[in-house]
Amino acid sequence: MLSDEANHRIVECIKEAEGKTSGEIRVFIEHHCEYMDPLHRAQELFLNLGMDKTVARNAVIVYVALTDRQFALFGDKAIYEKAGGAAFWKGAAEKLTGHLRRKEVTEGLCNCIHELGTALATHFPYDPAIKKNELPDEIVFGK
C-alpha cells in the first residue's frame, strides 16, 4: 500500500513523536472501510490492537482507508480530553484532509503524527516510570 521509503518515514515519525511522551501512536492503513463509519472502524481497531490498555490511557490511532479516501483519528479518554476535546481533533483532521485531497499521504500522516505527538508531549511528557514503548511502532496494514 505504501512504498518502503514511505513506510520507513512514517515509522520514524512515530518513533520521534513517542520519544517525547509516555503516549502511544499507531497508524492503521487499509484499502476499504466497507461496512462502517471510519470513526467506528478506528474505535474497533483501537480495541483490537489493545490500545485501551496503556498505563495512562493516552494512546491515539490514525486510521486511513486509502481507496475509499476515508480516515479517522481516535484518542483514548485522557488524551482526548486533555488535548482540548473536539476542537483539537477537528483541527488535526482538517489538516490531514487537506493532505489526503492532494494525494500527499506520507506527508499528511507525518504532519498528523507530529501534531498528535506534540499534544501528547504537552500533556503526557516522557516519564521513565512508565514502560517506554507499550505498543509497536510499525504501521499496521489491513486488507
41 pLDDT tier (thresholds 50, 70, 90): very high
pLDDT-derived band at 129 (thresholds 50, 70, 90) equals confident
This model's pTM is above 0.85: yes
Cα atoms in the Cβ-side hemisphere of radius 13 Å centred on 102: 10
Question: For residue range 67-121, what is the model confidence (pLDDT) as tens digits?
Answer: 888 999 999 988 888 888 888 888 888 889 989 889 899 999 999 999 999 999 9
What domains lie within the chain, and their CATH numbers?
4-138 (3.10.310.50)
